[in-house]
Structure 1
């Protein structure tokens, strides 16, 4: 008999024997009872505040089995017979765990499920300035290329470049309203209006010399764009139909980020902070043709927080205001700059962990005429990460994506608790723009120094994923290879040669090649209180030695800051760095010894433009005032030009190996030293670009030029000004604040 047939017969015999023993006649035995069980809870995964939401739970305990509910927010429903369905109204946002407990057969079994509770998104949705926008009507993405002077149009699905459109000098942000795309062109002081279908330019709206527009966003109600004029210190409304400015409003210095709510609220961020803190301004835009300032909010310094996971300091470099989908609050990504601590100020030196780090601030909005408020405990400091350069909410508002510029990553946080929800590493050089697809499943990241946009699937954040696509947005590289490399390194904190644990880069104090206009305590570096000097316009060492104490004679000397306070390993090999006197500033030259260090120097040296002063006016009275101020400046009695002679407007130099320093009566207890030794005087700063570099003097002790000329010059050591009356001082200020690239 074949083996298989024998096995089948044996099995049949066994079955028959089993049937006889159980039923006596081979009948099928009764089925065992089904055990009591509880199935999944059914219901929506998203709930809106104040709206009833219902859940159902299936179980085998019978129709009368008692069911108790816990809604995860402190609310509950006690056990009740047949309560397999329950409804609830949530009053606070956040993530909740809903649980149902069923009693049957003397046992209790439970099931649970997660739920996200959010405020209901507003319609129309709030808008915010950004370097990248999603055009849902055409399934396209628009992005700016600041260095290339162009904008790019991308197809969303599949991701691909549609066109690159040469446009203007330094496009910074863009916005979409209906069939019009608006682009803020900082370099040529215009707002360009483009056709959203084909990118054709419809109009160029002039915004004024020196206005330096930066942020642009669309009025959610339609019909207008709102623009921040970074140079002029104003917000402007531009009619999209008439292609003209219909209203302007002074909002204070350095406005950059701007967001609009459909109730007529504009939120404007001041880019640079002061020692007192960062400033957010609310503008009443209910009537775009008549902008009116509402309230300002000061975000004061954090004090006493220095540790390995946080630091004291002020929110600095506020590039964006990002409103929640419901328009009730706004998130402000920035860098927390520690101008609170230091050996002179607190007795504790700054460390690589306590100098600066990425931070989010959260403010509550109350309407166009109500004062905003900072939410208590609403600041979130990131560990081991530098500047938070951009942010974007998920469409429903439960998550917030945060670009970390120098670390080149995106952090994903719960939008209410800021708990970690995921992260995406290696998103490209200097990410400055984020946008999600309307369904929230894809994230688009603009990395402006990679000249590319990367697209990520964010439908599941449980594990890192490679990009779905990388789209190059600029066809021709505008910078020389060494300048581009240097700019990338200048912004890059993730390179261990630059800093330890991704906290710091050159851009931490000199974003855009500017200065943060803050006064740092560098006493532990052998210096003192030092007001950050802008790099823009100075061409590296073209205007003389670097720093207030002339302690560097080449850009490559920043190797000392990198190896010291920034705790990087440095760009020079150790044996090269420690050869001769190279490991001292002003020692043997470092140029030519590291291609990457030389590239950083090449980028810094390329920053040769101060720009246009917004203080200039084609007004006969102003021109007369400025001309009189020029005469005072060059007069032998005032003596200003003896140290600030054109064309450099400085006498900064080394003579016979020694720096030219002056004691103009401004040295004080906090002025510290020079290279750890006596500080005999201060290196003369150039006067070009004064309109954007307040406060003044080496220690930032003069908030205005008037304070420099009068309050901080009582003995006429800093030029003779005691003989000048208020009108003459105003004339001198008019001249000083218009010394730009155009002044001979």
Structure 2
């Protein structure tokens, strides 16, 4: 393959046959390229009749900015490029209510949403009878190795196509957030406003979110019966009481249902900052599940990353805020969210303009701001017990 550069104004071709980059040669690079192919295709095992793929909702590995209605409720497409930090060593807990903790868990989307056979199978033949049942006999309410119970990756390793999801994960680790827009407003001043509002309480860290996977999933491991106290968490630190279901770590499980039901969520990365069913009438998707039931999220949401937020409108889990300015309006529908870190935060119009400019400037090159230690209460290194 080759490319040429054409100057239309002069009707000349200044550069002929610009060589393309060489094909990957190392096993790791080839694995990433294979993962990109699986991420992009809807053929074969990845969907029914080739109608959809990962890239359909995550173009370029980012987001289509569409709010879809899923079994858990309305969900704005999450930017896949914010799954791992630039080192590939830190991973966000996944989905809007922290119901997944491995990339391999999205096998459930491949099967149930895309209608594909999937890649966690006992035989490579494209037959739904070959699916390995890793959700368990009780279905969604009682998963064995699906959602955030056990390890879908460990189940995949026992199957006939053990490396397919590994390859997709390897590709996702390579994704980088698009270069952000630093025009308009005072970005430096906006960073100071961000810190004055204590936005870093939730939106600090390597991925601009406190949501980070804090343990290694294991086959058949089950954190649902383990309280935070039993996992070694004595208190929730300085996290506001109104942002969690309880301040008593002996009364909060590591994995626990939302008040509106299953699936279980990683409770330590969920915060209630007043965004459930918030916003002006007619804005955003209704808080309803795909089956018509009340949506999950009344107890809070998995803190989203701010990476690529400038290109991510509309905002929030249900697309309830059309612009950053609407989301950050101190007198608007989302004022509780704006003041989640500082209840006496009283920004001026200039402050808000600068804050919005700073948020739009955030990409992988932006120096991060640490999450205060007293805002984290995940049981680091907990080992899921095996029943």
Fold-level similarity (TM above 0.5): yes
CA drift at 1:689: 1.7
- Return the offset for 1:614: 2.2
Question: Cα offset for 1:672?
Answer: 4.2
Give the direction of change, closer, same or farther, for the CA distance of 1:572–1:641 in structure 2 (3 Å limit): same
* Cα offset, 1:654, TM superposition: 5.6
Please say if residues 615 and 691 of structure 1, whose CA atoms lie closer than 8 Å, have aligned partners that are also in contact: no
Question: How many angstroms does 1:644 deviate by?
Answer: 1.1
User: Using CA pairs below 8 Å that are at least 6 residues apart, which structure has the higher relative contact order?
Assistant: 2
Paired position in structure 2 for 1:476: 23
Q: Alpha-carbon deviation of 1:176?
A: 6.4
For residues 47 and 145 of structure 2, what CA distance do their matches in structure 1 show? Answer: 18
Does 2:166 align with 1:588?
no
- Pick one of 15, 19, 26 that aligns with 1:195: 15
Q: How does 1:223-242 map to 2 (within 5 A)?
A: none
User: What TM-score does the superposition give when structure 2 sets the normalisation length?
Assistant: 0.64
Show the counterpart of 1:723: 346
| Pairing 1:697–2:264 present | no
How many residue pairs end up in the alignment?
Answer: 277
How much does 1:600 deviate?
1.4
* Aligned equivalents of 1:714, 1:560: Cα separation in 2: 36
* 199 and 732 in structure 1: CA distance in 2 versus 1, 3 angstrom threshold: closer
Preserved contact between residue 485 and residue 600 of structure 1 (Cα < 8 Å): yes
Q: Residues 226-253 of structure 1: CA distance to partner in whole angstroms, max 9, x if unpaired?
A: xxxxxxxxxxxxxxxxxxxxxxxxxxxx
Give the Å deviation of 1:714: 3.0
Where structure 1 has 5 or more consecutive residues not aligned to the other structure, the ranges are 1-142, 144-150, 154-173, 182-193, 201-472
CA contact (8 A) 1:179 1:195 kept: no
Counterpart CA distance in 1 for 2:363 and 2:111 is 35
Find out whether 1:735 has 2:294 as its counterpart: no
1:674 deviates by 12
Which is greater in Rg?
1
Is it true that 1:684 corresponds to 2:229 in the alignment? no
Q: Residues 611 and 199 from structure 1, CA distance in 2 versus in 1: closer, same or farther, beyond 3 angstroms?
A: closer
Is the helix fraction higher in 1 or 2?
Answer: 2
**Structure-1 residue corresponding to 2:192:** 631
CA RMSD of aligned residues (A): 3.1
Deviations 1:175-213 (A, max 9, x none): 5646545xxxxxxxxxxxx434x659xxxxxxxxxxxxx
Please, which of 282, 287, 295 is the counterpart of residue 671 of structure 1? 287
Question: Could you say what secondary structure the match of 1:536 adopts?
Answer: helix
Report what 1:714 is aligned to.
335
CA distance 1:542–1:493, shift in 2 (3 Å): same
User: What is the distance in 2 between the residues matched to 1:700 and 1:639?
Assistant: 23
Tell me, yes or no, if structure 1 residue 646 matches structure 2 residue 205.
yes
Q: Distance in 1 between matches of 2:134 and 2:355?
A: 49
Which 5+ residue runs of structure 2 have no aligned equivalent?
Answer: 122-129, 137-142, 215-227, 229-253, 256-265, 278-284, 368-387
How many Å apart are 1:673 and its aligned residue?
Answer: 6.3
Aligned CA distance change for structure 1 residues 475 and 543 (closer, same or farther; 3 Å): closer
Post-superposition Cα deviations, 1:242-292, rounded to whole Å, max 9, x if no partner, equal xxxxxxxxxxxxxxxxxxxxxxxxxxxxxxxxxxxxxxxxxxxxxxxxxxx
* Structure-1 separation of matches of 2:340 and 2:287: 17
**Deviations 1:378-431 (Å, cap 9, x if unpaired)?**
xxxxxxxxxxxxxxxxxxxxxxxxxxxxxxxxxxxxxxxxxxxxxxxxxxxxxx
1:530 aligns with 2:75: yes
SS in 1 for 2:68: strand
In the alignment, is the contact (CA less than 8 A) between 2:67 and 2:77 conserved in 1? yes
State how 1:193-342 maps to structure 2 within 5 Å: 194-196=14-16
Matched, 1:578 2:146: no
TM-score scaled by length of structure 1: 0.34
Indicate conservation of the 8 Å contact 2:145/2:152, yes or no. Answer: no
Alpha carbons 2:182, 2:361 under 8 Å: kept: yes
Q: How does 1:76-91 map to 2 (within 5 A)?
A: none
Q: CA deviation at 1:550?
A: 1.1
